[in-house]
Structures are given as structure tokens and as C-alpha cells.
């Protein structure tokens, strides 16, 4: 793993400049293709979009909670900031379009602008929240982020421009699976690049022992705040995306419970493991729907399934408890999937080579 | 190592979308998402690959999405019970055109994104012909957007926010709207109670409460009354003494508290403790057995507007109350009555419509006129809202007394 960060001549013979953007060049057409293929399946699109948003949230929270070892439990607050800023922006530019572009393309441009604005607003909040609280050690960040999440919710609830308790509806539903997928891709790329950079090494050092890291000359507050801001930015993006495919956003969607759901994803996947966060987010998003399907099949006659739909959530909780008892370090621990896979399939790998 | 990250991602994406697509052509009536979930979740509980028997020719499937868990669970359960009862009666009477009517209920946890997900699933996977739900207006708004886009008619039994039916011509409601309830109470206070000074205590957290307050304030002022003070609280608060003290200073003759029963009961107690003897006025959010428990004697002598009164001596209402008691125990609340009505309107439309296409059903529902519902006679206007009277009830000792009916 260490060797990978050393700039060696690329094995594939690609020039380094191209290698940097190659992932993007591959991802964009692939995502657009999937978007087209799934155009006739609205439920799959919706579910995958929700899943994508959860992946973005989990991976971005993992930068703070996993890699840096801080404990933030107000991620839904940053998501709300992004959702409302992007939502209000899109609402106010609903009728405008760029004249030199077709309407669909112009919508996408506006969406990206709104998302970036939402992300930037969330990042700013992250900076303001993080700067004072990350100077301290221990649980202060948890308390401050918890408070922040509640403040955002109460502010939204009492502001007419944000639709108060009823929520904001009528936001143009311009988000697509490709757009969500692209941001998922981007957040994972950023998370991995951070992890293997010198910046990331400092974050790992802070996680392991903050005093030792500081003694070695790591500017702990600076690194922590930067990690926190990046994390908040992507939470804002996730919120913005959420606002553009869910017909109505209201404060009830960004409660403390949502924050805890994201923390659960990170912990379940393994603190510090990006793959873990992805897998856990995918798993926890699909689990309730899968249980719904399972119960529908069990109660083919109808009435039983209806009754059982209610116990979906307790079952979800039980499964979670069981998983944590069986694997307290999370599904992946601190490892990534390519560090785990070779151990599982050593022979096949050789065979392939 | 660096390149393996995007490669892995791409592979993951291929896997996810790939398995989604594969099930697509074969699954006109089976459950795509279920198979997708199995494919992607990996650890998801194993479900038999057999298709769900949703699209059987001899049943017509209605979709219901409501909050069976979460903060408003009692509302959702009442709604489900009401619909279930209506369907059972219809099936016992021979069903619709020889077919049985069944429902599929999904829980939305009281969250709009879950509501949108549930309704999308009902429409695209379960292929329901019509959607019923929800109670909370935020959830109904999310559902309305999806139902309208898919061209599937939707009837909300009890979402009173005006914006729900404004989503499009496929969205109907069979209850009155918030502005009307505000108007009813303003009229009742002015003409029946003959008070001219009223204070308002609103729930800042609920759009319903704010909506009622706005209309009440406007109408009451128009009718020559005066609002002495407007205070607010948040759902979940437990201490209202500060607001009540401020209200007491303004010396009102009544207090309008358009909140939910859980807070109103406590507010009534604390108001009496502070020596505020004037009656409280409220809306249909008061309607729950819990109100008498929480409010005790403090809430007696207060009034609220509602959709129906279980004490109404009319024969069909008493029959409904008795049947409901026999099936589920307990007196049906307004939400159960409204859900029962909504399901009956839906069944009526199914009988009248030439086929079960969205358009035909929509037209059939839109023609609903003078339909004898439990919660009032239902006539849908051109905005797809029900025009019907509201009743005003007085809270007594563990029960309510019918006072008067206010017509639109």
C-alpha cells in the first residue's frame, strides 16, 4: 500500500496527466448508460437515488468519524443546509433557462450550480461549527454537532421561505441517477485520495494518538477542520441531490434520527473503511425494502403481509444488533475491500493472472 | 492500487445496474425491486423467487401508504382499519363487477421520502389502480406528486392542507380543508359563543396548526372580533406557563389552540392552574381518546371542530360505530371514518368506471356527488376538494357532545 503513493512510471503506459482524469472519463459514460437503461423503472431509479445519497453521506462522514477519529453526530444538519439552499435556489430559478443550451442541458447546469451552492453553504457551516469545537479534544464535537443539527431544524421550521413545518415542495425534479452516481463516484474518489495523501496520513495519526501527532508537528486543529469542512461539503451535496428527486423536503427528514442512521452506517461498515461505509449504506437502504418484499411473499393472501409491514423496523433493528454483536469492529474493520478480497479468493486471482 | 479504486467502483456500478436491468423485461407483474434488493444487498433475507400474486385477474388492488410507525402511528392505524372495513363490506356484498377488491398497505414511517418511495413501489411494482392516503399533509404532498406523474388517481382521506389537491387533476380529497376549519371556529366563536376577544396559542412545528391560525385570525377579525395575543409553542413541549401567563394578561374570553391532543391536554391543565377559566377552542387534531386522559376536568367545556361525531344518532353512523367497535375495539375516530368513506368512494368509482385505467377512474371519482359518507355528505368541487359541513363538539366527561353543524 505504501508503494502506491510513490510516483512510479505508470504500468499501463498512460501519461500521468491522463491517468488523473481517467476515472472520470470512464465513469461519466458508464453512468449515463445506466441512467438510460433504467429510465423505464421509476422505482429502481428512486431506490438507487436514495441509496446513492446515503452512500455520499456515509462516505463523507467516514472522513471525520472514521479517518480522523472525531465523533460528529450532526450530519443530517449539514444535509439539511445543502437541501434547503439548493432547493430554494432551484425554486427561484425554476422558470429560467440558458438560451444557448437545450432545456434539459440547461436544467442540469442549474442543478450543478444549485448543488455546489448547497455544498458551499454546508461547508461554510462546517467551518463555523468546526473551528471552535475542533480545537478541543474529546466529546465536545459530538455535543456541538448535535446542537447544530437541532438549530438548523428549528430555524427551518420557523422560516417562511423554507416552507416551515409543511416543507418545500415544487422543487424541479431534475436530478437523475447519473447525477447522483457521479457525486457518489466523486466522494469516493476524494475520500480515497485523501486517505492515501500526506493529509490522510496526518488524519490517521490524529485518530491513533492526537498528542503524539501534535508532538510530531501535525497541525491537529487545521487538519481536523479541513477534514470536517470536506465532509460537510459532501453532506450538503447529498442534501441538494435529495431535494431534487424527493417531491417534498421537510424538517422531519433531517432529524437526529437521520444523523444516527448515517453514524450507524459508518460504524457498521467499519470506522475508517470507505468500502465498509459504501457497503453498509447500500445494505441499510435496501434492507427495509427487502424485508417488505419478504413479508409480501410470506403473506401472499394479503392480510398477513399488511400486518407484518409494521414490524419491518424492529426486525431491521434486531438485524443490526446481531451484526454488531458478531462483528463489533464493523464489516470491514479499517480495511478496504481489495485488502480483504485476496485473502478470500487467493487461487482465483492467480488463475486470472 | 490507485486505479483499482475507480475500477472497483465501475465494477460495482455495473453489478448494481446490471442486475436491475436483467429483471426488468421479465417482470411485468413480479417484484423487480425485491430481486434487485436480493442481488445487491447480498445478505438480504432470502425470498422465494416466485412472483407475488398481485396482478391476479380476479382481484382489484388498491394501494395504501400511511404512517403505521412513527409519531402519528395512531392516525395511520385508524386509517388502515377504516379502509380494511370498507373493503371487507364491499367484498361481502359481491365485490366490484364480480372481482374482489384487495389492498396493499405500506408504512411510510411518517416521512415524506418514505411516502414517495412507498407510493412509487405501489404504482410501479404492485400495479395498484388507485392510491389512498395519507393523513399528514407533507406525506400526501410527496405521494401526490408521484401519483400525478404516473396518472394514477389518489384519494387522501384526511389531509387538510389546501396545497395537496393543487398538485394535479388526479388528486382528490374527501375531507374539508384547513381554511374551512379556521372559518368554522371563527364563526362558532362569534355567533354561538358570542365572544369578541380571543387569544391564539399555535403549534409552530405543525403546518396544520399554522394554517388554522392564519384563517381563524383573518376571519375572526373580519367578523368584528379581536385577537388579543398570539403565542406559539413547539410540538413536544411540556411547559406552556410562560405563554399562558402572557395570554392571561391580555384578558381573552376564549383561547384558540389548534394543536394536537397530546399538547392540548397539558395546555388545558396548566391554563386552569394559572386561573384561566375561559373555554379553549380547537380543530380536529384534538380528536383522540387520549385528550380526556391528559386534560381531565380541565378540558371539559371546551369546543373543537371535527369531521364527524360518533354520537350522531343517524342509523348508518351508529351501524358504522358498532361494526368498527366489534372489529377493532374502541370508538372510531374521525380518521377511521374518513378512511372508510375514502375507500367507499374509491369502490363506487371502480363500479362506475368502464375499466380500471387511471383516466377512467379519475373521471368516475370526479363525478362523486351527494355521496352519503359517515363523515358528512361528499360532493367534490372542481378543485377536487369535498364540500361538506363541519361539526362542533363540546368536550364532556370522557366523551364529546354534539353542539352544532357549521355549513360552508
Q: Which residue has the cell 373543537?
A: B304
Average pLDDT over residues B154-174: 90
Choose one of B306, B326, B341: the last residue of a domain. B306
What sections of A158-300 are H helices per DSSP?
A: 177-195, 198-208, 210-215, 220-243, 256-269, 274-298
B120 with B142, same domain: the answer is yes
CA distances from B9 to A185, A316, A340, A348, B332 (A): 7, 27, 16, 20, 53
Average pLDDT over residues B124-137: 89
**Most confident region among A94-98, A320-324, B130-134 by mean pLDDT:** B130-134
In chain B, the residue whose alpha carbon lies closest to the alpha carbon of A244 is: B113
**CA-derived radius of gyration, chain A:** 21
Within-domain flag for B301: yes
Average pLDDT over residues B283-296: 84
The CATH number given to whatever domain includes residue B293 is 3.40.50.2300
B364 with B381, same domain: the answer is yes
Within-domain flag for B279: yes
To test the contact with chain B by mutation, choose from A293, A295, A298, A305 the residue with the greatest count of B C-beta atoms within 10 A, namely A293
* pLDDT tier for residue B14 given thresholds of 50, 70 and 90: very low
* pLDDT tier for residue B27 given thresholds of 50, 70 and 90: very low
The pLDDT of residue A16 is above 50: yes
B64 with B164, same domain: the answer is yes
Within-domain flag for B10: no
Within-domain flag for B401: no
C-alpha span between A22 and A11 (Å, rounded) = 14
The pLDDT of residue B385 is above 70: yes
B271 with B360, same domain: the answer is no
Query: Does B248 reach chain A within 8 Å, measured CB to CB?
Result: no
Please count the helices (runs of H) and the strands (runs of E) in chain B: 13, 14
C-alpha span between B93 and B90 (Å, rounded) = 5
The pLDDT of residue B155 is above 90: yes
Q: For chain B, what is the domain count?
A: 2
B202 with B149, same domain: the answer is no
The pLDDT of residue B172 is above 90: yes
B300 with B261, same domain: the answer is yes
Within-domain flag for B405: no
Residues B307-324 pLDDT 10s: 888 888 888 889 999 999
Helix axis angle for B73-92 and B334-352, nearest 10°, is 40
In chain B, the residue whose alpha carbon lies closest to the alpha carbon of A243 is: B113
Average pLDDT over residues A295-312: 57
Q: Which three cell numbers stand for residue B157?
A: 382521506
Chain A residues in contact with B36 by the CB 8 A cut-off are 44, 47
* pLDDT tier for residue B125 given thresholds of 50, 70 and 90: confident
Residues A214-267 pLDDT 10s: 999 999 999 999 999 999 999 999 999 999 999 899 888 898 889 988 998 898
Within-domain flag for B209: yes
**Segment 131-170 of chain B within 8 Å of chain A by CB:** 137-138, 141-142, 144-146, 150, 161, 163
Q: Which three cell numbers stand for residue B265?
A: 391536554
Pick B18 or A104 by higher pLDDT.
Answer: A104
Residues B90-100 pLDDT 10s: 999 988 888 88
Choose one of B248, B276, B306: the last residue of a domain. B306
Residue B291 sits in which domain range? 179-306
Least confident span in A309-313, B74-78, B226-230, B390-394: A309-313
Q: What is the mean pLDDT of chain B?
A: 82
The pLDDT of residue A80 is above 80: yes
ipTM beyond 0.90?
Answer: no
B186 with B226, same domain: the answer is yes
Say how many CA atoms lie within 13 Å of A128 toward its Cβ.
Answer: 8
Looking at residue A75, what is its pLDDT? 94
Pick A137 or A285 by higher pLDDT.
Answer: A285
Residues A197-224 pLDDT 10s: 999 999 999 999 999 999 999 999 999 9
Residue B231, SS3 per DSSP: strand
Query: Does B214 reach chain A within 8 Å, measured CB to CB?
Result: no
Within-domain flag for B21: no
CA distances from B361 to B96, B327, B354 (A): 13, 30, 8
Within-domain flag for B134: yes
B284 with B368, same domain: the answer is no
B99 with B123, same domain: the answer is yes
The beta strand positions in chain A, using DSSP E, are 168-169, 248-249
The pLDDT of residue B109 is above 60: yes
Please check whether residue B63 is in contact with residue B128, taking contact to mean a CB–CB distance below 8 angstroms.
Answer: yes
Choose one of B277, B306, B335: the last residue of a domain. B306
Pick A294 or A329 by higher pLDDT.
Answer: A329
The pLDDT of residue B1 is above 50: no
Amino acid at each position: 500500500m505504501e508503494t502506491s503513493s510513490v510516483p512510479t512510471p505508470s504500468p499501463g503506459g498512460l501519461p500521468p496527466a491522463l491517468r488523473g482524469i481517467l476515472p472520470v472519463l470512464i465513469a461519466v459514460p458508464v453512468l449515463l448508460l445506466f441512467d438510460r437503461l433504467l429510465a423505464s423503472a421509476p422505482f429502481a431509479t428512486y431506490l438507487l437515488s436514495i441509496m446513492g445519497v446515503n452512500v455520499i453521506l456515509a462516505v463523507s462522514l467516514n472522513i471525520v468519524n472514521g479517518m480522523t477519529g472525531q465523533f460528529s453526530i450532526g450530519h443530517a444538519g449539514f444535509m439539511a443546509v445543502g437541501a434547503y439552499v439548493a432547493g430554494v435556489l432551484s425554486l427561484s430559478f425554476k422558470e429560467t433557462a440558458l438560451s444557448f443550451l437545450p432545456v434539459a442541458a440547461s436544467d442540469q447546469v442549474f442543478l450543478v450550480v444549485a448543488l455546489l451552492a448547497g455544498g458551499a453553504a454546508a461547508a461554510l457551516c462546517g467551518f463555523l461549527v468546526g473551528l471552535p469545537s475542533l480545537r478541543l479534544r474529546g466529546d465536545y464535537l459530538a455535543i456541538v454537532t448535535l446542537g447544530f443539527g437541532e438549530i438548523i431544524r428549528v430555524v427551518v421550521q420557523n422560516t417562511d421561505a423554507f416552507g416551515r413545518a409543511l416543507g418545500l415542495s415544487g422543487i424541479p425534479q431534475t436530478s437523475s441517477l447519473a447525477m447522483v452516481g457521479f457525486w457518489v463516484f466523486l466522494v469516493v474518489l476524494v475520500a480515497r485520495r485523501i486517505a492515501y495523501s500526506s493529509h490522510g496520513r496526518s488524519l490517521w495519526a490524529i485518530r491513533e494518538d492526537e498528542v503524539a501527532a501534535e508532538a510530531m508537528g501535525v497541525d491537529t486543529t487545521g487538519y481536523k477542520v479541513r477534514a470536517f469542512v470536506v465532509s460537510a461539503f459532501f453532506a450538503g451535496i447529498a442534501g441538494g441531490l435529495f431535494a431534487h428527486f424527493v417531491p417534498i423536503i421537510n424538517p422531519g427528514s433531517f432529524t437526529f434520527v437521520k444523523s444516527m442512521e448515517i453514524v450507524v452506517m459508518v460504524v457498521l461498515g467499519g470506522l475508517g473503511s470507505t468500502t465498509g461505509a459504501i457497503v453498509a449504506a447500500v445494505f441499510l437502504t435496501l434492507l427495509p425494502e427487502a424485508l417488505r418484499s419478504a413479508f409480501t411473499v410470506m403473506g401472499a393472501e394479503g392480510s398477513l403481509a399488511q400486518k407484518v409491514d409494521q414490524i419491518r423496523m424492529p426486525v431491521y433493528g434486531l438485524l443490526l444488533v446481531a451484526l454488531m454483536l458478531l462483528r463489533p469492529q464493523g464489516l470491514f474493520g479499517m480495511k478496504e475491500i481489495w485488502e480483504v478480497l485476496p485473502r478470500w479468493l487467493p487461487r482465483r486471482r492467480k488463475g486470472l493472472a | 492500487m490507485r486505479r483499482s479504486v475507480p475500477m472497483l467502483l465501475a465494477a460495482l456500478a455495473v453489478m448494481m445496474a446490471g442486475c436491475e436491468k436483467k429483471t426488468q423485461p421479465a417482470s411485468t407483474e413480479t417484484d423487480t425491486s425485491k430481486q434487485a434488493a436480493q442481488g445487491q444487498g447480498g445478505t438480504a433475507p432470502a425470498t422465494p423467487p416466485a412472483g407475488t400474486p398481485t396482478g391476479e385477474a380476479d382481484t382489484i388492488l388498491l394501494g395504501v401508504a400511511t404512517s403505521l410507525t412513527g409519531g402519528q402511528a395512531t392516525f395511520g392505524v385508524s386509517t388502515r382499519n377504516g379502509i380494511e372495513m370498507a373493503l371487507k363490506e364491499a367484498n361481502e356484498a359481491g365485490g366490484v363487477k364480480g372481482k374482489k377488491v384487495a389492498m396493499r398497505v405500506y408504512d411510510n414511517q411518517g416521512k415524506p421520502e418514505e411516502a414517495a418511495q412507498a407510493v412509487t413501489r405501489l404504482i410501479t411494482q404492485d400495479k395498484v389502480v388507485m392510491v389512498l392516503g395519507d393523513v399528514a399533509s407533507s406525506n400526501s404532498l410527496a405521494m401526490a406528486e408521484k401519483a400525478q406523474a404516473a396518472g394514477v388517481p389518489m384519494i387522501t382521506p384526511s389531509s387538510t392542507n389546501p396545497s395537496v389537491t393543487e398538485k394535479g387533476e388526479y388528486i382528490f380529497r374527501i375531507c374539508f380543508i384547513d381554511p374551512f376549519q379556521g372559518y368554522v371556529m371563527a364563526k362558532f366563536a362569534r355567533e354561538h359563543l358570542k365572544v369578541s376577544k380571543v387569544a391564539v396559542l399555535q403549534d409552530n412545528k405543525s403546518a396544520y396548526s399554522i394554517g388554522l391560525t392564519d384563517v381563524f385570525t383573518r376571519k375572526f377579525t373580519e367578523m368584528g372580533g379581536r385577537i388579543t395575543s398570539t403565542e406559539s409553542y413547539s410540538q413536544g413541549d411540556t411547559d406552556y406557563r410562560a405563554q399562558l401567563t402572557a395570554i392571561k394578561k391580555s384578558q381573552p374570553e376564549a383561547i384558540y389552540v389548534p394543536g394536537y391532543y397530546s399538547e392540548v391536554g397539558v395546555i388545558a391543565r396548566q391554563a386552569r392552574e394559572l386561573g384561566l377559566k375561559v373555554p379553549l377552542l380547537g380543530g380536529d387534531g384534538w380528536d383522540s381518546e387520549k385528550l380526556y386522559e391528559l386534560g381531565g376536568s380541565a378540558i371539559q367545556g371546551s369546543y373543537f371542530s371535527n369531521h364527524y361525531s360518533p354520537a350522531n344518532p343517524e342509523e348508518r353512523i351508529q351501524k358504522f360505530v358498532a361494526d368498527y367497535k366489534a372489529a377493532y375495539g374502541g370508538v372510531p375516530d374521525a380518521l377511521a371514518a374518513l378512511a372508510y368513506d375514502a375507500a367507499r368512494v374509491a369502490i363506487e368509482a371502480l363500479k362506475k368506471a368502464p375499466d380500471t385505467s387511471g383516466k377512467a377512474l379519475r373521471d368516475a371519482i370526479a363525478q362523486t356527488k351527494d355521496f352519503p359518507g359517515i363523515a358528512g355528505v361528499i360532493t367534490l368541487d372542481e378543485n377536487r376538494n369535498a364540500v361538506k359541513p363541519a361539526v362542533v363538539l363540546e368536550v364532556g366527561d370522557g366523551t364529546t357532545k354534539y353542539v352544532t353543524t357549521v355549513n360552508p
